[in-house]
Every structure is written in C-alpha cells, then in structure tokens.
Amino acid sequence: MLTVGLTGGIGAGKSAVSRLLASYGAVLVDSDTIAREVVEPGTPGLAAVVAEFGDGVLAADGSLDRAELGSIVFADAERRRALNAIVHPLVRERSAALQEAAGPDAIVVNDVPLLAENDLAGLYDVVVVVDAAPATRLDRLVRLRGMAADEARSRMAAQATREQRLAIADIVVDNDGTPEELAERVRKVWEELVARKGVRGRNSGA
C-alpha cells in the first residue's frame, strides 16, 4: 500500500485532483466527507459540537447548521481550535479504518484540507500539494462558489500559507491553468505514484 496525503488551499482545485486520481484507481479517503458524517444527527460528534457551541448551531431539523458554525469559527481562531479538537480525532479514526480496509496493493489518497495546519505530513508516504496563485483561488471562490470577496479572503487567511504547504510537498500539482492542463499533470502524478508504490513494495514487501 502507498499512502498519499493530498492537500491544497481552498480554491486551489484539490477536489478536481482527487476525482482524477480516483478515476485512475486510487482509493479516495475524503476528510471533508468524513467530517460531515461524524457530526450527523444522532452522532456523538454532533452532541459534542452542540455542547461546545450551543443549540444555535443547529438547523430546524436538528442537523448541523454549517453556515452558522462557519461564521463563528472562521472569525475566531480559538473557537476554530475548539471545533477542530472535537472533529479531527473522529475524522482520523474513521480515515484510518477506511485506509486499512483498502488492502495491501492499494494507492490510498487521503484528501486532507488541513494537512499542513495540523502537521500531518508524517502520516503519509507521499504528500501531494495542489497549488494555485492566491489571485486564482480568490477568483474561483467568488466566481464559481459565489462567495463574497471578504469571506473568501477570510477563509484563505484561516488556512496555512502557500509557502507552508509547499514546504511539506513531495509532489506539487500546478493548477493555475486549464482543466485540460490539470488532467495531463494529474496523469503524470498517477504514473509517479504507481512507480513509487512499486519501489516501496520491492523494498518493504508491501
């Protein structure tokens, strides 16, 4: 098994890269999806979030009001740390179980938005960083996701810097260009991952 940590700043195009890698046969473990699952109604995770932040973060149907919670934590680093302390251990536990179930021959891509922020690079054989210029990311968030520019800048600022992400990268995927250019770059990344898995397998018996 080859374990890959995939990360990138908001708006960089990490999700597009993860979908392309999955199309080649990678087993995708999506931390964002898992983070939603661990705070679904009836879960201990949601109960812990409500205990910390109050009933105001619940929607009328009893589910988590993500917009309301987001408005709290993105504006306050201390509150964001409190949320992360609840959610991240649950996500790590579920991610580890999914990775273990993938089997010994898999290339497992862990899509982890906050990999750099939480110092998780050491958990993976390879770290892939999807990189785009801040102006490109801001444009995508405003134009494609419909965010207000101030909100987009706030979310970008709440994450690791571009330099911090690049410092932990084994492979960098430049995504300032077209979807076609990205697809070609990801194809080459997949070939490199397959090659790395082969070398690791010969050296370790994995």
Closest among 113, 63, 65, 108 to 91, alpha carbons compared: 113
The matching CATH number, chosen from 1.10.286.10, 1.10.3720.10, 3.30.70.100, 3.40.50.300, for 34-105 is: 3.40.50.300
- Delimit the domains of the chain by residue range: 1-26+106-200, 34-105
Report the alpha-carbon distance of residue 4 to residue 144 in Å, rounded: 28
Q: Write down the pTM of the prediction.
A: 0.80
1-26+106-200 and 34-105 in the same fold: yes
Q: Would you give the distance in Å from CA 52 to the centre of its chain?
A: 24
| 178 φ, ψ (degrees, to nearest 5) | -85, 165
CATH architecture under which domain 1-26+106-200 falls: 3-Layer(aba) Sandwich (3.40)
Burial class of residue 30 (count of CB atoms within 10 Å of its CB; 0-12, 13-18, 19+): buried
Per-residue pLDDT of the chain (206 residues; tens, 9 = 90+): 999 999 999 999 999 999 999 999 999 999 889 999 999 999 999 999 999 999 999 999 999 999 999 889 988 889 999 999 999 899 989 988 998 899 888 999 999 988 998 899 999 999 999 999 999 999 999 999 999 999 899 889 989 999 999 999 999 999 999 999 999 999 999 999 999 988 665 444 44
**Hey, how many other C-beta atoms are within 10 angstroms of the C-beta on 157?**
9
